[in-house]
Amino acid sequence: MSVVTLSQLQFAATGMFHWIFVPLTLGLSIMTAWMETKYVTTGDETWLRMTKFWGKLFLINFALGVVTGITMEFQFGMNWSEYSRYVGDIFGAPLAIEATLAFFLESVFIGVWIFGWNKISKKTHLVSIWLASGATNVSALIILLANAWMQKPVGYVIRNGRAEMNDFMAVLTNDYGWIKFVHTLLSGYALAAFLIMGVSAWHLLRKNENDFFVRSFRMAAVWAFVASIGVGITGDMHAVEIARVQPTKFAAMESQWETKRGVGMNLLLFPNVSRECNSIEEICVPNALSLLAFHDPNAEIKGLKSFPPELRPPVLPVYLSFRSMAGLGTLMILLSLAGIILSRRQRFIEYRTFLTLMVCAIPAPYLAEQLGWLVAELGRQPWIVYGVLKTSDAVSKSITSTQVILSLIGFTVLYGMLGAIDIFLLVKYAKKGPDTDVSSIINVQGRG
């Protein structure tokens, strides 16, 4: 393999592994803060126990996420030095802000939250988790705005053979990034909610702490349903933006080869990817693709044949990833809606088939998240900065294939160990269940 391909594989491996932890951190941080808010406002001990239990899983996940994220930034210097040289004036600014502002605040207030039990008042302790979760979400926003610049570059000029920023506010207000941020944030909430529902279902199948886990399940089901609907809505908004600014990616997502108006949408997962939607040969909804892309049933969709072959992304993996992601999103909406309805019934813990299904559904949002990033990054190819810099021109000139292979093996082994540790700890403490005695916290914080 070439250095370019190996470097892409390495960054994909580290990036996708890191993203296992990010959405759960985004979701559980907010949900843990919500649980503690319910405890502080109601004085209900169960909400405190929920805060402690789900907060412990959040902290385990957060610690692993920090470790795996650091190595990604080193790769910009090691594998992608030409990219860093060409766009470092722009891309480096958001990364610096994220590290010095958002991550700093996040780490400080998580530390206060961890070590503040029994030491500060419950209201002050509550403020610390809200500030930590807010910083976590701001951190995600900054990183996604940086990625959005690669997808839709704005606020720059080409000067002296490199891209230089001339409008920071344009980068900060890039609509591509803000849509992507809300979409990502909601998907993180949905993922965290599905984890809570799955773990709760596992305990309910064993009749452990029924009241605790029924309440956890009910709360998470509402979060999951609202967030999943929101993911669908923002996903549609994002697709509209992609059709406008990244027509090659959009054409690959739908396997649209010919440029035409009033394009229908194929509902099959495995059509002939070299043939456009046809109402006779395929299961097709007439004009649906034009309507979804531009909210106009007669809008023109640019097909892949309108672009040179060397500027087309890999169609099949992008197409299948997009369809699979959308299918999993639909499944999540249906399962969370069923969870809302069934968890309100008196005989909820007797629905063993449904509870088993919810345990098995824990990986669904994880898989949907990974597929979404495959669409975003594979669909942008062959550009690393869309329309500005090709991936083949961004790789470091001084590295060899052997060096990348060795580092890829090293990252794989290291991340495999970290992944095993994370799964072990999450499973261990999820199966252990909540603490039964929180009276010491109540007694101390009650005086604050």
pLDDT tens-digit readout, 95-132: 777 777 777 788 888 888 888 888 888 888 888 889 98
Look at residue 279 in the predicted model and tell me its pLDDT. Answer: 40
- Per the structure, the complete domain to which residue 374 belongs is given by 3-233+318-445
Q: Would you say residue 241 lies in a domain? A: no
Residue 94 has pLDDT above 50, yes or no: yes
Q: Would you say residue 446 has pLDDT above 70?
A: no
User: Do 67 and 418 form a contact (C-beta atoms < 8 A)?
Assistant: yes
In a domain, 257, yes or no: no
Task: Quickly list H helices, 79-115.
Answer: 81-97, 103-115
The percent of residues above 70 in pLDDT, for the chain, comes to 92
pLDDT digits 0-9 by tens, 393-432: 888 888 888 888 888 888 788 888 888 888 888 888 888 8
Residue at 103 is within a domain: yes
Helix (H, G, I), strand (E, B) or coil at 301: strand
pTM of the model: 0.85
Q: What percent of the chain has pLDDT over 90?
A: 18
Q: Which tokens belong to 324?
A: 């699979």
| Coil, strand or helix at 435 | coil
Give the model confidence (pLDDT) of 311-334 as tens digits: 989 888 898 898 889 889 999 999
Look at residue 217 and tell me whether its pLDDT is greater than 90: yes
Q: What angle do CA 242, 245, 249 make, to 5 degrees?
A: 50
pLDDT digits (tens, 9 = 90+) for 218-253: 899 999 999 999 999 998 888 888 888 898 998 888
Give domain status of residue 350, yes or no. Answer: yes
| Residue of higher predicted confidence among 126 and 262 | 126
Sign of the alpha-carbon dihedral angle for 360, 344, 442, 113: positive
Q: Is the pLDDT higher at 135 or at 99?
A: 135
Strands 162-165 and 156-159: antiparallel
Q: What is the pLDDT of residue 192?
A: 92
Amino acid, res. 340: I
Alpha-carbon distance of 274 to 111, in angstroms, equals 54
Number of domains composing the chain: 1
Q: What is the mean pLDDT of residues 360-388?
A: 90
Reported as a pLDDT band with limits 50, 70 and 90, residue 273 is very low
User: What is the pLDDT, as a whole number, of residue 196?
Assistant: 93
Query: What confidence category does residue 268 fall into, taking pLDDT thresholds of 50, 70 and 90?
Result: low
Asked if omega into 434 is within 30° of 0 (cis), the reply is: no
Within-domain flag for 263:
no
Asked whether the beta carbons of 369 and 55 are under 8 A apart, the reply is no
In a domain, 26, yes or no: yes
In a domain, 306, yes or no: no
The reply to whether 201 falls in a domain is yes
Checking if the pLDDT of 282 tops 80, the result is: no
445 pLDDT more than 60: no
Nearest to 385 by CA among 93, 159, 163: 163
pLDDT above 80 for 392: yes
Helices (DSSP H) in 206-314: which residue ranges?
210-245, 247-254, 288-294
What gap in Å lies between CA 252 and CA 120, rounded to an integer?
Answer: 54
